[in-house]
Each structure stands twice: as C-alpha cells, then as structure tokens.
Amino acid sequence: MILIRYKDQYCNEKGELQLEIKQLEYFVATADHGSLNKAAEQLYTSQPNVSKVIANLEKELGVQLFERNSRGMKITEQGNLLYGYARSILKNSNMIQALVQKQTGNHFCVSGYQSSILTRLMAEIYNKYQDREIQFGYREGTVEEITDDVTEHVSEIGIVYLAHAQLPCFRHIMWHKKLEYHPLDDRGICIYMGESHPWYDREYLEFDELKQLKFVEGTEDFFAMEHHIERINVGVLDTEHLNNAVCTNSDYMIQSMLKHTDVCCMGIDFVSQEYAAQGIKALKVKDCDRFLTFGYVKQKKKELSPEASYYISELKKRLTEYNKSL
C-alpha cells in the first residue's frame, strides 16, 4: 500500500493518496496495450479481474482513466497524468525489491548492450561461481539505462561504447551519477549481414556505400554510434541518408532480419564467432577510424567483487585475442 499525505487531484478528502502496487501494475499494463484482454495476458490473470481493479482505481481517485469503446481502452488526459507517476513508482518498487533480494543472498548483475559476447561471458561466470549460490543477471539497455542500473545498484558494472567525441559529455554525466568510466579499447564499426544479402561474399565495404544499404535500427540512444558517423570521415556521409528500414529493441528480431532479409545492422568491430554458425558475417568498413571507446562503468571508489573482476579480465582477454586476429 502506498500512502502519501499531500494535496493533489488523486487524494481523498483527508489529503491521503492510497494506492496498491497491483493497481498501478494493472493500470500501466492496460495503458500500454490499450486492451483489457492483452493486459490480462501479460499479468497472468482474467479480463474481468483487470476490469474490476481498474474500475476500483477510478472510483478511489474520482477520475476516469480510460474511455471504453469497441476498439479497446483509450487512456484519458487525466490517465496520462497518472501514467508517468505510476511508471516511476513501479520502477522504484522494483529497485526496492532488488535491494531486498540482495540482502538475502549474493547477487551479481551486468548491464550492457545486445551482445552474444557479453552474454556468453555471463554463462562462463555462472559455470565458475555456481557453487557459491549467487543469483546472476544480465540487463540490456541504452547507455542511460545501463548507467542508471549501476547508479541504482541493480547492476555492479555496465558495459558501454560511445564515440570519443561524446566522452566529455559522458564523463560529466558519470560525475553526477557518482560513477567511474574505465576504457578498455578503441574500436571502429562493422556491418552485419546475412546470406540473403547480395553483398554477403564481399570482404569489406567502402564508407560511401553505407547509404546504399538498408539497416535495422535498435533502441534510441543519444550515445548510439549512428549519431556520430559523420565525425569519422567528415563530409562523406550524413547520418540522415542512412536508410533505417526496420526499428526494434529485440535482439531476436535483429537476428531474424539479418538471417532472412537483405537488411543490415551496424555494430562495433568486436564480433562473436557464433554469428558465423548462423550465416551472419561482419564486413569491415575500409579506412574507418576507431572512433568508439569501449569500456565499463562502476560505482565510484568501490572495489569490484571477484565475479566482476573475473568478468572484466575475461572481457580484456577476448579484446586482446580479437585484436590479434585482425
């Protein structure tokens, strides 16, 4: 139960706002899907139960949160006002639950990008430390989400890469979040493509050929490499000319598009050998500068756990081995 004493449009006559986490979960799920049935599927409950919880929430708040029609549930203006607060409360609730779980046992989590190399390392960490009853985790996200996870103690370390030109801005953000950034290597970019692509058998791409390709774009991220390509070879390519034909935050979707279509994906030049078994190769971009810095973030002045130290040491080994293979 959430109890807040404050004068607000969502308070009762005593100035008290009394909501349950479950009510907010049901409200957010319904708003996200625009459907009681789909919300019920996500929440593993029945449609009448979701409808009842939403109706009770509207009654307690004294406002209409949704407009019901034949197409589903359309959120109202007052519902939109509540939505942002509800998402924030649920996020903080999850953080509290994570902290409670950490008090009851060992916990090691890494946040990073969609990467078979990074997730494969988590599997190796599990094999090495599974006898110690540690709960392991890996979370994917943007640079902002990764660093937030480390700030909020959800993850011990976060693996990031960003353009060198963004380092001053990034280090300023790290200072505010009380984090440290430790660079490991400098990398360029490569272009992933599958056997369905007509250029699959080529050895490399010319930089100005990128504008002829169709790309699958991942999550929006201010630090994403796509926003800084023009800094590599000035005047050669404007990022607005890249054809982002598909947009998704799903790693499975990206792999499926690469394997079965002529769509490409831009990535850091640090490629897992596992992609070759799936018929996916990474073409290097000729004369491309190493404009990306690759490293990890951690809590300031906090020693790494044995698990985190091992993870970073193994990541360094893979970077060294990859550099030798070039």
Q: What is the pLDDT of residues 164-184, one digit of tens each?
A: 888 888 888 899 889 999 999
Supply the CATH number for residue 17's domain: 1.10.10.10
Mean pLDDT of 205-214: 87
Measured CA to CA, the distance from residue 322 to residue 326 in angstroms comes to 7
302 and 273 part of one domain: no
* Residue 234 and residue 270 share a domain: yes
Query: How many structural domains are present in the chain?
Result: 3
R_g over Cα of the chain = 23
- Domain assignment of residue 136, given as a range: 105-184+293-325
Which phi and psi (to 5°) does residue 193 adopt? -150, 155
pLDDT computed for residue 182 by the predictor: 96
Tell me the CATH number at 126: 3.40.190.10
Most confident of the following: 79-83, 118-122, 311-315: 311-315
> Given 99, 122, 145, which residue is the final one in a domain?
99
Q: What is the DSSP string of 95-137?
A: HHHHHHHHHTSEEEEEEE-S-HHHHHHHHHHHHHHGGG-EEEE
Looking at the predicted structure, is the pLDDT value of residue 234 above 90? no
DSSP for residue 303: P
In this structure, the answer to whether residues 179 and 193 fall within a common structural domain is no
CA–CA separation, 43 vs 41, rounded Å? Answer: 5
Q: Round to the nearest angstrom and report the end-to-end CA distance of the chain.
A: 57
- Residue 96 forms beta bridges with which residues? none
Rounded to whole angstroms, how far apart are CA atoms 229 and 180? 26
